[in-house]
A = this chain, B = another copy of it.
Amino acid sequence: MKLDSKSRKVGLYEALKTRILTLEMRPGEDLDETALSEEFSLSRTPLREVFRQLAGEGYVDLRENRGARVSEMSHTTLRDFFLTAPMIYGAVLRLAAKNARPDQIEELKAAQAHFRDVLRAGTGAERALANNRFHDITGDMADNVYLTPSFQRLLIDHARISVTFYRPTDNSMAQNVSEAADQHDQIIDAIEAGNENRAAELAEDHWALSRDQIEVFVMPHGLDIPLGDLPRKTPA
């Protein structure tokens, strides 16, 4: 079936997003204008507009006279991530518990059901996307224009970090992941009950678990070495 240019444009937009989130397009990789314009049957003009938009949203970096690259994951990324995520994520879940509409809660439950599905049968990338979708909905629920931009940025790298550190063979990691799914259920309960404090508390736990998951990867053999200056608490 043939799509109109408008659909092809959003198709390109969505495709690039998922490719970047799943690391199909690696950080630092540059986007080939001619190749993509052929693949999506679009001229370079709308293509470049999409690039700019993605740049604004943090998916790609734009360099003068050098085209677009998938945004980098530098060595400071992980540090900044775990420094910032607890705060932003806590605020988002708190507001989600406060403001969530019934239809959004249904949407969240559906996303969680799908997350559990791919947890059993899916690939690491599918898992990361499903998780991304879950948290994305909580961002909608929070409904705060000033929080959303940072939250979206965090979600991008959250997905990419997840894919990076996903090892389905590792037993402790499998356990970790199923615990994350349980936390999702608890988060849904807290939001549905409108329990802001509980939601904020769960945010803290959820990110602590994420951090542990990274630690498992960094030290897979159970060596009990403290992990440098990664923060244990949110800055006030």
Binding site for B on A (CB under 8 A): 6, 45, 48-49, 52-53, 55-58, 64, 77, 80-81, 83-85, 87-88, 90-91, 94-95, 144-154, 157, 196-197, 200, 235-236
The 9 closest A-B pairs by CB, nearest first: A56-B56, A149-B149, A150-B150, A52-B52, A84-B146, A80-B144, A52-B53, A149-B150, A146-B153
- Of all chain B residues, the one with the shortest Cβ separation from A150 is B150
Known: A52-B56, A84-B91, A94-B235. A153 touches B149 (CB 8 A): yes
Q: A56-B57, A84-B91 are in contact. List 14 more A-B contacts (CB 8 A).
A: A6-B64, A49-B49, A80-B145, A81-B146, A85-B146, A87-B87, A90-B235, A145-B153, A146-B153, A149-B149, A149-B150, A149-B152, A197-B236, A200-B236
CA gap between A153 and B83 in the complex, in Å? 20
CA gap between A64 and B46 in the complex, in Å? 13
Cβ of A233 to closest chain B Cβ, rounded Å: 12
What secondary structure prevails in chain A residues at the interface with B?
helix
CA gap between A66 and B151 in the complex, in Å? 28
Q: Which residues of B contact A87 (CB under 8 A)?
A: 87, 91
Cβ of A69 to closest chain B Cβ, rounded Å: 15
A200 touches B235 (CB 8 A): yes
- Of all chain B residues, the one with the shortest Cβ separation from A200 is B236
Cβ of A54 to closest chain B Cβ, rounded Å: 8
Cβ of A231 to closest chain B Cβ, rounded Å: 11
CA gap between A48 and B196 in the complex, in Å? 42
- Of all chain B residues, the one with the shortest Cβ separation from A83 is B144
Q: Which residues of B contact A150 (CB under 8 A)?
A: 88, 146-151
Cβ of A81 to closest chain B Cβ, rounded Å: 7
23 pairs from A and B in contact (CB 8 Å cutoff): A48-B49, A52-B53, A53-B55, A53-B56, A55-B56, A56-B57, A58-B149, A80-B144, A80-B145, A84-B91, A84-B144, A85-B146, A90-B235, A90-B236, A94-B235, A145-B153, A146-B154, A147-B150, A149-B149, A149-B152, A196-B235, A197-B236, A200-B235
